[in-house]
Amino acid sequence: LRIFFFSLQFGRTEVIDNTLNPDFVRKYILDYFFEEKQNLRFDMYDVDSKSPDLSKHDFLGQVFCTLGEVVGSPASRLEKPLGGIPGKKCGSIVLTAEELGNCRDFATMQFCANKLDKKDFFGKSDPFMVFYRSNEDGTFTICHKTEVVKNTLNPVWQSFTIPVRGLCNGDYDRTIKVEVYDWDRDGSHDFIGEFTTSYRELARGQSQFNIYEVVNPKKKMKKKKYANSGTVSVSYGAAEGDVSTRLSAIKRLTSDLTGNPSQSTSLHYMNPYQMNAYAMALKAVGEIIQDYDSDKMFPALGFGAKLPPDGRVFHEFPLNGNIENPYCNGIEGILEAYHQSLKTVQLYGPTNFAPVVNHVARYAAAVQDGSQYFVLLIITDGVISDMAQTKEAIVNVSFIVCVTVVTLANFSPSSAMVELDGDDIRISSRGKLAERDIVQFVPFRDYMDRTGNHVLSMARLAKDVLAEIPDQFISYMKSRGIKPNPAPPPYTPAGHTHHTQI
């Protein structure tokens, strides 16, 4: 037996002779991207000869899935039935995934210095350090800057945590350059000196080998007796695993219902030949993120509509019409509920975000043990009518919920949207700052392909919509002191003494 996968063939396993329950040893390393849909196909053959031509062998069945399905399954183990031969049971295939962890670690370090050069005329120095990651072309990219310690030649900087991949791209022996400066108010900071090291050295922590001479190359060239401009020592160095390796998410999807769906100018227009913008955005994002939900049941809410029978305006209602159970079965279930709601409700403004944000917050507040993480996707026409209330709601839920806003408007993003995004200035309300940046704003119009290739444009949309979620998830777990659960024991099939992974 042999297994093959990918339409563009990626690899072939070894052949295991004379068995109906093969346990393949050969493994494959794939780049995994949370925010992308990575389709896989596995084909199984019974090998009859040494010929590499697949037509010379018996086809036993195939399986289609995504890499996200495998990673998102319990213990990252996915079992699916083989298909592809009508009317025949072809058995099943078990797929397991294991993350290569060395480049997803986080480094926590602390530094101190001794006898740095005096740079200030009326004082000592106000030193800070800048860390640079080396690139393959020999250049350097800044990756961290410490705080300034005022008026001292023997500073002790605060400890900091940084992803190892940000520090050295996961290569423990890659050069790290550190520059030491004296801070000046006008920004013309004085260069004190520099040194180079590697993460492998820094991770050893405090030792005689982690004391570095801070050297100013210009001084060294001019002064024969020049030794150094001080020393920097590692006070503490350690690595910790990334909690994203145990990602488990619950999603809430929300659609703004405004406009007349019977008119072709409406964003909700129900064209019999193609999906409207709301449906395309829901499908593009939902098909990827659903792989990380265990039961594939999603509560979907609408807002901004008059509901039967009395025509009252609601800013928070279940798309499927069931107040007791707003859950929809998969993304197709959400799309079906969305299309049915367009036939029964009257779309009506204004566009209020606060009710649905608070709705999700009530669920999230009840589950803060790390077993669930809530992502709120809002698809809207780009106008916010309750800005003050929305800001207050986001500030209040910033410690438990992640919010992504996709606006379908054809005009430039409003100042309100930019303010909610909070990339430049952290959002605040009533003098209270949001605990973290939880809002991401994505303008749909930037992803419309003029050639009509909606598949590629929607893939780019989904990638950008979901790009910030892993880091937001990690920051939430770390802020709560929640660590990953222990890895489950290896799966051992009945009658086997070991189990290897595909």
What does the pLDDT read at residue 502? 33
**d(Cα 482, Cα 300) in Å, to the nearest integer?**
28
Q: What is the pLDDT of residue 450?
A: 60
Query: Mean pLDDT throughout 344-349?
Result: 82
Name residue 300's beta-bridge partners: 253
Higher-pLDDT residue of 452, 57: 57
Q: Position of tokens 């025949």?
A: 88
User: What would you report as the CA-atom Rg of the chain, rounded to the nearest whole angstrom?
Assistant: 28
Residues 439, 407: Cα–Cα separation, whole Å: 13
Lowest mean pLDDT among 2-11, 169-178, 238-247: 238-247
Say if residue 350 is preceded by a cis peptide, omega within 30 of 0. Answer: yes
Classify residue 380 as exposed, middle or buried by CB count within 10 Å of its CB (0-12, 13-18, 19+): buried
Strand partners, 297: 329
Helix, strand, coil percent values for the chain (each to nearest 5): 25, 30, 45
State the average pLDDT over residues 401-410: 65
Q: Which residue do the tokens 């180079």 mark? A: 196
Can you name the residues that pair with 237 across neighbouring β-strands?
Answer: 109
Residue type at position 133: R
| pLDDT tens-digit map of 278-293 | 888 888 888 888 888 8
Q: Count of H helices and E strands in the chain?
A: 11, 26
Average pLDDT over residues 356-370: 84
CB 43 within 8 A of CB 79: no
Residue 80, strand partner residues: 93
> What is the model's pLDDT at position 155?
95
Cα–Cα distance, 289 to 462 (Å, whole number): 9
What is the predicted pLDDT for the residue at 372? Answer: 83
End-to-end CA distance of the chain: 14
The C-alpha atoms of residue 155 and residue 112 are separated, in whole angstroms, by: 6
Higher pLDDT, 96 or 195: 195
Of 374, 382, 293, 277, the residue nearest 331 (C-alpha): 293
12 CB-contact burial (10 Å; exposed 0-12 / middle 13-18 / buried 19+): middle
Query: Is 330 strand, coil or helix?
Result: helix
- Max mean pLDDT among 187-191, 423-427, 430-434, 472-476 falls in 187-191
Q: Token pair for residue 206? A: 């405090």
- The pLDDT of residue 499 is 36
Q: What letter does residue 187 receive in the DSSP assignment?
A: S
Q: Are 2 and 13 in contact (CB under 8 A)?
A: yes
Judged by average pLDDT, the poorest of 106-110, 214-218, 383-387 is 383-387
- 3-state secondary structure string, 353-416? CHHHHHHHHHHHHCCCCCCCCEEEEEEECCCCCCHHHHHHHHHHHCCCEEEEEEECCCCCCCHH
Q: Mean pLDDT score of the chain, rounded to an integer?
A: 80
8 Å CB contact between 465 and 444: no
Judge if the upstream peptide bond of residue 309 is cis by omega within 30 degrees of 0: yes
Residue 123, pLDDT > 90, answer: no
pLDDT band at 491 (very low <50, low <70, confident <90, very high): very low
85 DSSP 8-state letter: S
Confidence of residue 69 (pLDDT cuts 50, 70, 90): confident
Query: What is this structure's pTM?
Result: 0.55
Backbone φ, ψ for residue 469 (5° rounding): -65, -45
Phi, psi of 447 (to 5 degrees): -115, 10
Lowest-confidence region among 144-148, 214-218, 459-463:
459-463
The residue ranking higher by pLDDT, 374 or 137, is: 374
Render 255-305 in DSSP notation, one character per residue. EE--S-TTSTTSTT---TTS--HHHHHHHHHHHHHGGG-SS-EEEEEEESE
Could you give the angle at the alpha carbon of 469 between the alpha carbons of 96 and 267, nearest 5°?
Answer: 110
Contact yes or no for 304/256 (Cβ under 8 A): yes
Q: What is the average per-residue pLDDT within 11-34?
A: 80
E strand or H helix that includes residue 92:
strand 92-96
For 236-250, the pLDDT digits (tens) are: 877 665 444 333 333
